[in-house]
Amino acid sequence: MEAFHSPCVFFETTIRAPPRIVLQDVIKSFATSDGKSVLAADWVNLSVGDRELVALVGPSGWGKPTLLRLIADL
Alpha-carbon gap, residue 68 to 23, rounded angstroms: 11
Range of the domain at 26: 21-72
What band does 6 get if pLDDT is binned at 50, 70 and 90?
low
User: What confidence tens digit (pLDDT) does each residue in 46-70 have?
Assistant: 999 988 999 999 999 888 999 999 9
For the ranges 11-20, 27-36, 65-74, the lowest mean pLDDT is seen at 11-20
Q: Is the pLDDT of residue 72 over 80?
A: yes
Alpha-carbon gap, residue 39 to 26, rounded angstroms: 11
User: What confidence tens digit (pLDDT) does each residue in 9-18 have?
Assistant: 555 556 778 8
Residue 38 domain-assigned (yes or no): yes
Residue 68 domain-assigned (yes or no): yes
How many domains does the chain contain in total?
Answer: 1
- 48 and 20 Cβ atoms separated by less than 8 Å: yes
The pTM score is 0.65
Residue 9 domain-assigned (yes or no): no
